[in-house]
């Protein structure tokens, strides 16, 4: 048996025999709600403190903090931690790191009556664990830890340094998490680093996400003139104008109709979504209306082209109905892609093949992850995990076996 094969077998034995330890860690983390202030919470500080204590107690002691100031939370900061397990090439001119980047925050419970268990108390049943955050993103978080612990506990030196990033604020925009790190501590990442974000995937672990659609969330505030429902001639119906605009925004799916088979669906989508209440009575012509849209646009179309088309439709509606429409953007992001032949893609695919016998394929997604910010700055990042994608749902669960599956894959990458 080759030395690499022998050391990986030792790592594998450790991972498979200590997966239940990760269930205990999941239980600890689930019991500490880490909600952003936007979601009625006090941030991730307590969860980060508990995790740091746990890591130190289990032999991972090289931990650095890069906390983002935030006066809205009692700790006055949002925690970002990096745990490092030095590799054989640490410090060498051509060295690189294997990153596993997971987020600490979770989303709210939602309608609690839809849960079969207490969302903040982990329950294990039939090979699954239930609770808010167990899959999103604690499964990826603990699988990275398990892979790192395998090296530490067995005394095996990884071929490449492993870095575990525990981020704040992913669920509401990453201003205090990844975006803060890329703005203030960009030196953390190297252009040759292999960056894995275990925050999306499929139940077989067969898809490696390398690209995201461009995202545009416009807000349209239509200002008309309120009047009695029986005298629309005396008013300017902001609701009617907004309805026309909503259809025009949706029609952009025909304007920007190119296909990109990397994505599912392969076309751009322009969907009117949230609408704020306008008037409080049926017999009132609204003079004010607020409409939002969620646009997921194939990367072939720059947002500048989309904005230009939206502006044409806005001006046409203003002229037709005699209203004024104020346009703002809740979110706008253009995302570069990680090349299909990037080292992180090839090496992750090779690890998936070697450990699980699966031929992985590259895909794109319409959703947004922290990979976008990294890619736009020239860092090759991939999103991958083995999960059922129950995130944000009632009765969120993670499959225990997936923790060990993903840990084995990371351990193989760090061994090669």
Q: Which residues are catalytic?
A: 105, 170
Longest CA span, the chain: 87
CB-CB contact of 168 with 79 (8 Å): yes
**Strand, coil or helix: what is 134?**
coil
Q: What are residue 297's DSSP bridge partners?
A: 214
CB-CB contact of 80 with 65 (8 Å): yes
| Spatial separation of the C-alpha atoms in residues 86 and 303, rounded to whole Å | 41
Residue 326 Ramachandran class (φ > 0 left, ψ -120 to 50 alpha, else beta): beta
Distances (CA, A) of 205 to 160, 165, 256, 363, 384: 23, 21, 32, 12, 7
- Among 171, 124, 165, 120, CA closest to 144: 165
- Among 63, 80, 94, CA closest to 190: 94
- Among 243, 259, 333, 326, CA closest to 294: 333
Residue 326: DSSP 8-state: E
- Among 271, 216, 219, 274, CA closest to 249: 271
To which H or E segment does residue 240 belong? helix 238-250
Task: Give the CA count within 13 Å in the CB-facing half-sphere of 117.
Answer: 18
- Among 128, 105, 132, 107, CA closest to 119: 132
| Spatial separation of the C-alpha atoms in residues 364 and 335, rounded to whole Å | 11
- Phi and psi at residue 315, to the nearest 5°: -65, -35
Q: What are 226-230's contacts with CB under 8 Å, separation 24+?
A: 226/279, 226/284, 226/285, 226/286, 226/287, 226/288, 227/284, 227/285, 227/287, 228/283, 228/284, 228/285, 229/282, 229/283, 229/284, 229/285, 230/283
């Amino acid at each position: 048996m080759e030395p690499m094969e022998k050391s990986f077998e030792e790592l594998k034995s450790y991972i498979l025999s200590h997966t239940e330890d990760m269930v205990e860690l999941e239980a600890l983390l689930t019991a500490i709600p880490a909600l952003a202030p936007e979601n009625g919470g006090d941030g991730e500080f307590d969860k980060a403190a508990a995790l740091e204590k746990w890591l130190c107690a289990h032999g991972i002691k090289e931990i650095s903090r890069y906390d983002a100031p935030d006066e809205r939370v009692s700790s006055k900061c949002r925690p970002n931690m990096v745990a490092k397990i030095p590799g054989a090439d640490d410090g060498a001119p051509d060295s690189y790191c294997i990153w596993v980047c997971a987020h600490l925050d979770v989303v709210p419970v939602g309608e609690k009556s839809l849960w079969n268990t207490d969302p903040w108390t982990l329950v294990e049943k039939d090979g699954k664990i239930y609770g808010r955050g167990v899959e999103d993103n604690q499964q990826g978080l603990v699988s990275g830890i398990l892979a790192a612990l395998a090296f530490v506990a067995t005394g095996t030196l990884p071929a490449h340094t492993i870095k575990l990033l525990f981020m704040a604020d992913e669920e509401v925009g990453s201003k205090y998490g990844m975006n803060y790190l890329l703005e203030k501590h960009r030196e953390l990442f190297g252009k040759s680093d292999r960056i894995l974000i275990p925050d999306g995937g499929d139940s077989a672990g067969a898809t490696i996400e390398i690209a995201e659609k461009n995202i545009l969330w416009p807000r349209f505030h239509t200002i008309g003139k309120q009047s009695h429902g029986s005298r629309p001639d005396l008013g300017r119906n902001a609701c009617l104008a907004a309805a026309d605009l909503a259809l025009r925004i949706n029609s952009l799916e025909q304007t920007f109709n190119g296909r990109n088979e990397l994505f599912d669906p392969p076309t751009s989508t322009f969907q009117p979504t949230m609408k704020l209440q306008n008037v409080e009575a049926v017999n009132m012509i609204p003079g004010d209306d607020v409409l939002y849209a969620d646009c997921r646009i194939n990367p072939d179309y720059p947002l500048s082209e989309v904005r230009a088309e939206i502006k044409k439709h806005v001006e046409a509606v203003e002229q037709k109905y005699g209203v004024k429409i104020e346009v703002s953007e809740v979110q706008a992001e253009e995302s570069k892609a990680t090349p299909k032949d990037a080292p992180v893609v090839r090496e992750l695919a090779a690890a998936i093949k070697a450990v699980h016998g699966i031929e992985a394929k590259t895909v794109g997604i319409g959703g947004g992850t922290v990979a976008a910010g990294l890619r736009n700055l020239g860092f090759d990042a991939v999103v991958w995990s083995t999960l059922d994608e129950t995130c944000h749902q009632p009765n969120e669960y993670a499959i225990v076996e997936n923790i060990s599956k993903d840990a084995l894959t990371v351990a193989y990458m760090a061994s090669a």
